[in-house]
Amino acid sequence: MPKKKTGARKKAENRREREKQLRASRSTVDLAKHPCNASMECDKCQRRQKNRAFCYFCNAVQKLPICAQCGKTKCMMKSSDCVIKHAGVYSTGLAMVGAICDFCEAWVCHGRKCLSTHACACPLTDAECVECERGVWDHGGRIFSCSFCHNFLCEDDQFEHQASCQVLEAETFKCVSCNRLGQHSCLRCKACFCDEHTRSKVFKQEKGKQPPCPKCGHETQETKDLSMSTRSLKFGRQAGAEEGDGASGYDAYWKNLSSDKYGDASYHEEEEEYEAEDDEEEEDEGGKDSDAESSDLFTNLNLGRTYASGYAHFEEQED
């Protein structure tokens, strides 16, 4: 029988477990809360953007740069970690920085730990938006990670991508390799796998985690825990829905196609009839208008005494 744990021993074990979790949480910082991806407002143009050494819009240098690793704006020399010694003096601005990261385009302070570890642990090393394929240097916004497939997203495409991320590249929830129902889904490959086909010789499953995808190695999730939907395409036999007379499939497709053709033909015939009637009405109105105009021209015309007026014989008698 093992010895019974005392209260002090239980407290010590719980303390060690909490410290272990705290160390793990410090090493894995959320991408949206990381200092190199923090929100910054330019001092000159007042535009909000990602933390950068130079403004993306006006290329101005910021007065208070933020370290991309530790997030501080002032070095108070509490430890001997600084590469540049400044005993008794607080350094801010460009006196605090030591380098610019090539991946996140942000300042790194002159601390020895930040300078030696940030380049290897920068979370934006391969940060390219999966939708528009733009990197950190190609746009001024922040970088985010998709909640489902964990791919990088820019600030413009994050909501649109996450709204359509849980859509499979298949018409059913069946496994890609067999005909059984896929219980595990990979949100990067957009495919389902059964229990048997999630076992891969290349990617090993870690203890206490979901099985990896046999294609890309990304951790899968259970399909029942997701709001997955299938791809729906309307072409060919799938374009015609079932009607009251029972026509579906290819019959409904050709029936709908023929009805559309006849409908277009009748529509064009009606249009031609309407156009012909409009032309006739315009011609009739044009003829009436022309007669009225010609009669108006000769109303005030005076030709004097003529035979047509009946006054010509009076002139002859006078002569």
pTM more than 0.95: no
- Assess contact for 174 and 197: CB atoms under 8 A: no
- Assess contact for 30 and 38: CB atoms under 8 A: no
Q: Please write the tens of the pLDDT for every residue from 302-311.
A: 666 655 555 5
pLDDT at 267 over 80: no
- The 3-class secondary structure across 159-178, one letter per residue, is HHHHHCCCECCCCCCECCCC
pLDDT at 254 over 70: no
**Percentage, residues of the chain above pLDDT 90:** 1
Best-predicted range by mean pLDDT among 14-23, 30-39, 226-235? 30-39
Of residues 60, 25, 20, the one with CA closest to residue 41: 60
pLDDT at 122 over 70: yes
Q: Is 107 exposed, middle or buried (0-12, 13-18, 19+ CB in 10 A)?
A: buried
Lowest-confidence pick of 131-135, 156-160, 300-304: 300-304
Q: What angle do CA 163, 137, 37 make, to 5 degrees?
A: 60
